[in-house]
Chains A and B, each alone.
Chain A
Amino acid sequence: MPRGRNVGYSLTAWWGVDLHAAAISSLANVTQTLRVLRRNRARLPLLLVLLALLALVLSGCTTDTPQNTFDTKGEVADAQAKSFLIAMWPAIVIMIGVLGGIVLIALRWRERDPNQPPPKQVHGNTRLEIAWTIAPAVLLLAIGVPMVAQIADLGREPADDAYIINVVGQRYSWLFEYPEEIDSEGKPIQTVNEAHIPVGREVSFQLRSVDVIHSFWVPKLGGKRDVFPCNLVTPEPEAPPTPHGERPPCDGGQMNILWLKADEPGSFSGQCAEYCGLEHARMTMTIHADAQADFDAWVKEKLAGSSGGGN
């Protein structure tokens, strides 16, 4: 199935640059707006405040901050940001309609004279009721269809050539094991709180915890997946890589698999998203996405380093 990237528009451009430009141009038009509204001087400060807030909000979402869920660097995060926008734009339109409607109604029909008699008593309108039952249902189902497609898309098993990394969550650090990179002593490469992954290749993170529930989250690459306690059936330290599509068995608990794919090199920050205790806030990690050659070099160096260390 063709994925978001190939559809022909760049998501960051849609969300970021275009809107940013729109905000700037709307600010540039302020003078004209002022002219139009000069008879309503009392409401100008309010308008200015609203415009300033809008600009602030837009600037917030376009900044290049380490865990911005819209500054996406992989196809999973792309699809998820798009899923958000599919719901967000209709939501914003409805919000403006409803809030504007409420304010307008309250102002238009407010009591002007304390002796005003009660208005005409309207009890309801069945056609309207049917309309505003069916219309939202249709709209919601319309956004529900792409949602289900995306769920299926993201929920598939990792590709056959996915690169496997075992992730062990423990209070309050992340242990990464590379079962495909075995050193001379038969042990896999291990890193703590930092992991390297190859760019452009699906990476299958096999998630388990040795204590409480954590959640593995690298926002620029994709959404989170919970990390449950799982006692591996095979004794530590190492379970052989299981065939794709099969989860390594747990003796109690469960193992979740999350696949992510980085589209460009870079270092992406992530952290535990499920409250896990005292230092939950400090349970952070960095995922370095390297071009394949750089990644291979890193693996080689690690392998040499770990056997050289004689540990």
Chain B
Amino acid sequence: MATVTVPKRSALAEALAGARHAADTGHGVLSWIATVDHKRIGMLYGISAFLLFLVGGLEALLIRTQLIVPESGVLTSDQYNRLFTMHGVTMVFMVVMPLSAAFFNLLVPLMIGARDVAFPRLNAFSYWSFLGGAIFLNASFFTRDIFSGELGAPDAGWFGYAPLSLPDFTPGHGMDFYALGLQIMGLSSLAGGLNFAVTILNMRAPGMTLFRMPVFVWMTLVTSFLIIFAMPVIAVALFELTFDRLFNANFFNTEAGGNPILWQHMFWLFGHPEVYILILPAFGIISEILPTFSRKPLFGYPFVVFSGIAIGFMSWGVWVHHMYTTGLGTIANSAFGISTILIGVPTGIKIFNWMGTMFGGVIRLRVPMMFAIGAVATFTIGGLSGITHSMVPSDYQQQDSYYVVAHFHYVLFGGAIFALFGGIFYWAPKFTARMFNETLGHVQFWLMMIGFNLTFFPMHISGLLGMPRRIYTYSDGMGWDLWNLMSSIGAFTIAASILVFIANYVYTFVMKRGREAGDDPWDARTLEWSLPSPVPHYNFAEIPQVHSLDDFWHRKYREDAEGNVLPVVAGGAVEVAHGGDGGGHEEAGHGIHLPSPSYFPLIAALGLPVMATGLIYDYAIVPVGAALLVVGLYGWALEPATEED
């Protein structure tokens, strides 16, 4: 037969064509809605999170406008309270978490040499339920007469302390939306956490041992386990709150023997690991960017990995530092004070190793590097100010003051958002084949760096001058005017930097003026850069064989015993990079199996906000949502995982 004589290569090409066809079923909107491709889901996460970042940023600008002068009347106290609640909820659950999820999705399979995540349809479900929860929660704004200035959003703070969060004190539906919306997004995160833990543990390419994984993958793994253990805690707390609010249960109602401090313990037992869920992915991104742009391997790789794991464990033993002033007593405060101080040790190890990575390198100060260095610097300030109020007696003054606001913005904006922007500039070329404009990137970085410090550094001082958080106004003569004015000017500077980013996006991708990227524009180290840009649907034509940490770098450069770099013979790198050398790894005859697109994750995810809406407004709607969920899950279970040939 003729086919017998066809060389093996053509069988592979055929398999590739088949895979492309399967992944390409239907261009346009429908193919995105039904997608189970981790790269597309990653981009959906990224775009959604960025749009929500604009929403949360707008809320911040309104807050800063109100506080620009004492006794300002721009917002009513009711509007202010709802806006600061939604600012916190949005930035934590709808911006930093999904932006991190975007990077998990885009990068983890590529970095470990896999063709997709372990559970592609569960991945799609994670995204759609996140989006459903986010839209549901933001829809609460419109549940009152928004055009006459009545906002319907939650109004008991992102921390939702009981009994303030009970209907006696926060009537209306705002806090119902809070409890149910966070529940939906928590479910989404939980599914994502499980998915990535399984992916990383089970789907690594041959030779990709745990200690050959890029640090970003390690941090994703630690974050995934934190999510798996932390989300159930907040789920229980939110269910109790939901029962108190909707069904007159008495978990937190003091009058009926309930206990308000129970909420605080559960919220912060979730809430502190959550802080590391927000920051560890950023640490991973920094640990990828610094070596590439220093052209050196990460200094002390095992120490960076183990300190990340240590942070993961220790994050469970520090939650009471959010509650020093609740009167838990000297023993509890001492124990948690010490544990909080000591979590500075693994964090410090990371910072020192990042400095060690840059030390003696050939440092290219490109935009991703600027953001990564900026993140290390601002995070250091945030970490150190954290030490100052981990001192319990000192915290009695700083708790719930602007000092704390300054601290956690240095950590979560200075650390996480800066690193995430660095990641966007670093990896965008891989997925779009275009480079962001470098000049606009530097302009954005400096505007953001100046604006950020101008906004949040003065908050240290207003806090030490006794300004409490969450006050919608303050009177003249408290000595806070200047510092608030500075913060407000800084906030608008940050807004300007975001406009520059949007302009850069339009210039690069809409006007298509961005430079062509090529496959490896940064001379990078990890596997994803061995692939063509943009990455093909099937990721790896052949699953790579991994020989070392920073495998791709070692395909390009050899290293002698003293660590001096010798380039690999010309041409070798390119050939290896595309996996086309036929050097004995070829798995001819193995077709590439990519999961087929599916609508069922979306249908199942859609059921959740419908059920939640029903719980708030009319129980008759609940079965409709439940039916959607059940139909979605059944369809999901019964449809074949891959199209039949």
A residues whose Cβ falls under 8 Å from a Cβ of B: 57, 60-61, 63, 65-70, 77, 79-81, 83-84, 86-88, 91-92, 94-95, 98-99, 101-103, 105-106, 109-111, 116-125, 128-129, 132-133, 136-137, 140-141, 143-144, 147-148, 150-152, 154-155, 171, 211-213, 215, 217, 219, 222-226, 228-231, 251-254, 256-257, 269, 271-281
Contact = CB atoms under 8 A, between A and B. Distances in A.
B344 interface: yes
B254 A229 contact: yes
A61 B325 CA distance: 24
Nearest to A88: B388
Interface of B: 77-78, 81, 156-157, 161, 163-164, 168-170, 254-261, 294-297, 299-303, 325-327, 329-330, 333-334, 337-338, 341-342, 344-345, 348-349, 351-353, 355-356, 358-365, 373, 376-377, 380-381, 384-385, 387-401, 461, 464-474, 477-480, 482-483, 557, 559, 562-565
A228 B261 contact: yes
Contacts of A65: 465-466, 477-480
A29 to B, nearest CB: 24
B465 A86 contact: no
B477 A105 contact: no
Contacts of B467: 67
Contact of A83 (B77, B342, B393, B479): B393
Given A99-B380, A136-B345, A69 B352 contact: no
Given A77-B397, A125-B300, A212-B164, 8 more contacts: A109-B358, A109-B359, A128-B352, A143-B387, A253-B260, A275-B157, A278-B78, A280-B81
B391 A111 contact: no
B401 to A, nearest CB: 7
B466 A154 contact: no
B376 A102 contact: yes
28 contacts: A60-B483, A65-B479, A79-B393, A84-B394, A84-B397, A91-B384, A103-B377, A110-B364, A111-B365, A117-B565, A119-B295, A119-B565, A124-B303, A124-B356, A129-B349, A137-B345, A150-B392, A151-B337, A212-B164, A213-B161, A222-B396, A223-B325, A224-B325, A225-B327, A228-B326, A274-B400, A280-B77, A280-B81
B396 A277 contact: no
Contacts of B261: 228, 254
A252 B254 contact: yes
A217 B402 CA distance: 14
Given A106-B358, A219-B397, A226-B325, A60 B299 contact: no
A254 B387 contact: no
Contact of A151 (B325, B393, B480, B562): B393
Contacts of A280: 77, 81, 470-472
Nearest to A131: B352
Contacts of B348: 132, 136
A253 B396 CA distance: 21
B393 A223 contact: yes
The residue in A121, A137, A252 that gathers the most chain B C-beta atoms within 10 A of its C-beta is A121
A272 B468 contact: yes
A224 to B, nearest CB: 5
A147 B392 contact: yes
Contacts of B398: 69, 84
B358 A116 contact: no
B397 A98 contact: no
A152 B470 contact: no
A279 B470 CA distance: 10
Contact of A118 (B326, B470, B557): B557
A120 B563 contact: yes
B80 to A, nearest CB: 9
B399 A275 contact: no
B394 A129 contact: no
A141 B344 CA distance: 11
Contacts, number: 313
Contacts of B381: 95, 99
Given A118-B557, A123-B297, A252-B255, A147 B393 contact: yes
Contacts of B257: 251-252
Nearest to B168: A211
B255 A91 contact: no
Nearest to B364: A111
Nearest to A98: B380
Contacts of A88: 388
A122 B280 CA distance: 24
A219 to B, nearest CB: 4
Given A105-B358, A151-B392, A118 B295 contact: yes
Contacts of B358: 102, 105-106, 109
A122 B296 contact: yes
Given A122-B296, A123-B297, A123-B299, A111 B363 contact: yes
Contacts of B461: 57, 60-61
Contacts of A224: 325, 396-397, 399-400
Given A99-B377, A132-B349, A66 B474 contact: no
Contacts of A60: 461, 465, 479, 482-483
A261 to B, nearest CB: 15
Contacts of A125: 299-300, 356
A17 B359 CA distance: 40
Contact of B164 (A57, A109, A275): A275
A143 B341 contact: yes
A145 B107 CA distance: 44
The residue in A123, A215, A272, A279 that gathers the most chain B C-beta atoms within 10 A of its C-beta is A123
Contacts of B333: 151, 155
A256 B380 CA distance: 35
A132 B424 CA distance: 31
Given A151-B333, A154-B393, A119 B384 contact: no
In the complex, the 7 A-B pairs of residues with the closest C-beta atoms, listed nearest first: A67-B466, A223-B396, A65-B479, A281-B471, A155-B330, A84-B394, A83-B393
B471 A80 contact: no
B250 to A, nearest CB: 10
Contacts of B341: 140-141, 143-144, 147
B392 to A, nearest CB: 5
B478 A119 contact: no
Contacts of B301: 123-124
A84 B391 contact: yes
Given A109-B359, A119-B361, A86 B391 contact: yes
Given A254-B261, A280-B470, A133 B365 contact: no
Given A66-B478, A273-B400, A155 B377 contact: no
Contacts of B168: 211
B342 A95 contact: no
B392 A121 contact: no
A166 B164 CA distance: 22
A279 B473 CA distance: 10
A170 to B, nearest CB: 12
Given A137-B345, A140-B387, A122 B360 contact: yes
A47 B221 CA distance: 43
Contacts of A99: 377, 380-381
Nearest to A222: B396
B400 A213 contact: no
A207 to B, nearest CB: 9
Nearest to A214: B164
B355 A101 contact: yes
B299 A87 contact: no
Contacts of A278: 77-78, 81
A224 B397 CA distance: 6
A101 to B, nearest CB: 6
B459 to A, nearest CB: 11
Contact of A61 (B77, B356, B464, B473): B464
A106 to B, nearest CB: 6
